[in-house]
């Protein structure tokens, strides 16, 4: 599981947008940057995130694919993520917290959990060819 508060730290900054477009411009890359710019306005107004839009879907799919391949989390070098196996449940009661995911980060429940929760991600300015595969 990759929570929003984590992926809101991975932003499509103008520096990354410029790198995407200057490496090898294509219509696909332009569309990707235009989409990022479109949602950037909403994130700035609603959440106060002005450095660029978060890359939630990109991070969630990438980390899920690493977990699916059996690649463990790491605390080393660029572009790595950290995760922890824990117990999680979804709040099903009435009220404002209905649907909220509750994760046992303090290990109150004994035994190994079944969910890997991403707890950290290191974002770096990758080569554009690593950011977007448009072949």
Dist. CA 93–CA 100, nearest whole Å: 10
Q: Which domain holds residue 45?
A: 4-82+119-127
Examine residue 98 and state whether it is found in any structural domain, yes or no: no
Q: What is the mean pLDDT of residues 87-112?
A: 92
Q: Is residue 111 part of a domain?
A: no
Residues annotated as catalytic are 56
Please check whether residue 132 lies inside any domain of the structure: no
Does some domain include residue 96? Answer: no
CA distance 56 to 50: 16
Q: Is the pLDDT of residue 120 over 50?
A: yes
Q: Are 26 and 33 in contact (CB under 8 A)?
A: no
Q: Is residue 36 part of a domain?
A: yes
| pLDDT of 134 above 70 | no
Per-residue confidence (pLDDT) for residue 78, from 0 to 100: 47
């Amino acid at each position: 599981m990759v929570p929003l508060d984590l992926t809101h730290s991975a932003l499509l900054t103008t520096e990354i947008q410029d790198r995407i477009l200057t490496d090898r411009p294509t219509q696909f890359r332009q569309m990707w940057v235009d989409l990022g710019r479109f949602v950037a306005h909403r994130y700035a107004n609603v959440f106060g995130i002005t450095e660029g839009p978060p890359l939630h879907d990109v991070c969630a799919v990438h980390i899920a694919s690493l977990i699916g391949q059996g690649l463990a989390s790491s605390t080393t070098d660029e572009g790595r993520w950290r995760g922890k196996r824990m117990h999680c449940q979804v709040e099903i009661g009435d009220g404002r917290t209905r649907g909220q995911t509750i994760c046992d980060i303090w290990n109150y429940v004994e035994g190994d959990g079944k969910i890997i929760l991403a707890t950290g991600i290191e974002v770096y300015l990758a080569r554009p060819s690593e950011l977007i595969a448009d072949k």
